[in-house]
Each structure stands twice: as C-alpha cells, then as structure tokens.
Amino acid sequence: MAMRFAVTGGAGFIGSNLTAKLLCEGHKVYVVDNLTTGSPEVVKLLKRGGAEFIQGNASKAAELQVDGIFHLGMPSSSPMYKENPELVVEVMQDFVRIMERAKEGVKVVMASTSSLYNGHEPPHHEDLPVLVTDYYTEARYWAERLAQVYRLLHEVEYVALRLFSVYGPNERPKGRFANVLSQMIWAGLEGRPFVIYGDGSQTRDFVYVEDVVDAFIKSMEKDVSGVFNVGTGKETSFNELAAKIREVTGLNLKLEYRENPIKNYVYRTGASTVRAEKELGFKAKVTLEEGISKVYPVYKEGKLEFICKVV
C-alpha cells in the first residue's frame, strides 16, 4: 500500500538512497533538507523521480501530513560539532518539533550512531552504558533519550538506528566527512596517498548503504520501538580495508601513516546484531568485497547513482 513519508536529510548520502528506494516502492516522499551537505543535483534527480522537495531544517517535516518520518537530517560527523558546538542545540530543537508531531500518531525512525559505544570494546550491544566523549555523541544520545520520554509519556512509536560505518554511492558531497572506505577509493583514483592516523590497526564495522536502507524501512514497517544496531557484526582494520580495495579495484592505493591528533578517537567498532535480527528481522547481506565492487565504478565514472533507479 502506498504511503506518505518525509525524509529529513533526504538530499544527503543515506537519505537520498532511502528516498530513491521509497519512490521505487511507489510511496509519496517529501525530501526535507537545508542542503548543508545535501546535493542540489541529487534533489533534481529525486524530483524527476516524483519526490517533493522542501528546503529548510528538519523541523519542517513536522508540518507535513505524512504516515511516517525518517529523520536523518542531523549533522553526522564529530568534527562538525567540534567546529560548531551550537549544532547540539539545533539538533534538539528540530527533534522536539518532530516528536511533537509524532504524538499525533506519526512513527519516527531516526538515525543514531555507533559512536555512542566509544570507550567500549566490541561487540557493541545496545545496552552498553554511553560514556561522555564529545558533542556529536551527546546530541544523538539526548535525541534517543528524548524519544524514550515521548514513548513513556505519550506512547509515541519510534526507532533509533545506531548506524555503524555506512558507505555507498552519493557520498561525494560529504567531502572530508565521508566514510573512510569512500575516501580511500577517491585517494586511489586521484593518485594521492591516503592518510591514516596511527598504524592502521583501528577497525570499523563497514555496512553498505543498501542494507542500511533496508533497516530503515523494516523499522518503519515493524510494530517495534527502541534502539537497534545497524552493522554487519564484522570488524575490518584500515590496513585490511586498503588491501581489499586494491584487490577488488586494482587501484595503486598508497597509505601514509601519521600520529593521531584526535582526542577521544574511536579505535574499534563492531556491532552486536542479535537484537536487530530478532526484533527487526534485519541482517546485512552485502559483503565488503561486494560493496567495494558496487561503489567503485560509480566513483570511477563520476556518476550520480542510487541503489534504486528512480528515473
């Protein structure tokens, strides 16, 4: 059955792929984006596919008559918050307005982050205590907590997805905030070394955006509320990642190692997938090798492409 959805951050990396998938499934989609990291080119393509674009902050989604809100329209990288800590306040203001709309029977599925597990060893499961680390994680944790308050007081339906290291097509507009996998491929294509802070033994749980979109849609469809990890459950070091990229693409990718200057750096991530598999029915399907082979030609040819062809 066709439904009406708002996707905040719908012109961004994950949001645009989610929007494309929803359009392919026949739904009406409103893309709400202030274009801070979203792309006007992406907007044009999504509009041609049937999406309606509303330029502005995520709170504009609260003004729409929709069946559900996918909330991804929040700055998604720790350095952004370090440069402008007031983003924390903006995130919460938008989120309060969205949750007020949720009180009227609109389900919200929001993007949270695996960075909340900083300071803990993998496997990272949803019940681990959240340690104080930086502005970015505090903003997402407050949003999660506030969603729980609305659930407690107003029986609001919500799902918070703690995303691990998401990669895939259309990350270019994120630039230096993009996933390390994409940045490694770009470095190889441009013939420059990729800089690694430390010795390259740090790990990430790399998950392809098509799987992430599947998790968002399942979260909206299922009669569940709460917090869920979205990852593969597998750790890959930066050194191992570089080797896989060379193997799959044939790129002459060179690495340059430097001392790590970042405080509270996340050294390892690895999702516990038990809860998501049991309650959401979600399990990542795309292997790292398959994901690299999917994204490499998109960046090599400089194409604008989604996981689902909308036009």
Domains and CATH numbers, the chain: 4-300 (3.40.50.720)
Q: Residue 13: its pLDDT value, please?
A: 94
Cβ pair 19, 10 in contact under 8 A: yes
Q: Residue 43: its pLDDT value, please?
A: 96
| Integer CA distances (angstroms), 86 to 82, 90, 135, 141, in order | 9, 7, 9, 16
Which residue out of 136, 141, 150, 167 is catalytically annotated? Answer: 136
Residue 309 backbone dihedrals phi, psi, to 5 degrees? -80, 115
Q: Which residues pair with 237 in a beta bridge?
A: 203
Q: Residue 78: its pLDDT value, please?
A: 84
Question: Which of 221, 214, 258 is CA-nearest to residue 238?
Answer: 258
Return d(Cα 178, Cα 68) in angstroms, integer.
Answer: 27
Cβ pair 180, 165 in contact under 8 A: yes
Q: Which residue has the tokens 């193997």?
A: 247
Whether 136 is a known active-site residue: answer: yes
Cβ pair 218, 282 in contact under 8 A: yes
197: number of Cβ within 10 Å: 14
- The pTM of this model reads 0.96
Return d(Cα 153, Cα 227) in angstroms, integer.
Answer: 17
Question: Which of 219, 220, 245, 241 is CA-nearest to residue 230?
Answer: 219
Q: Residue 16: its pLDDT value, please?
A: 96
Return d(Cα 100, Cα 92) in angstroms, integer.
Answer: 12
Q: Residue 293: its pLDDT value, please?
A: 97
Question: Which of 239, 240, 238, 230 is CA-nearest to residue 266?
Answer: 238
Q: What is the pLDDT along the chain (311 residues), one digit of tens a residue?
A: 899 999 999 999 999 999 999 999 999 999 999 998 888 999 999 999 999 999 999 999 999 999 999 999 998 788 889 899 999 999 999 999 999 999 999 999 999 999 999 999 999 999 999 999 999 999 999 999 999 999 999 999 999 999 999 999 989 888 888 999 999 999 999 999 999 999 999 999 999 999 999 999 999 999 999 999 999 999 999 999 999 999 999 999 999 999 988 877 889 999 999 999 999 999 999 999 999 999 999 999 998 899 998 87
Rg (CA), the chain: 18
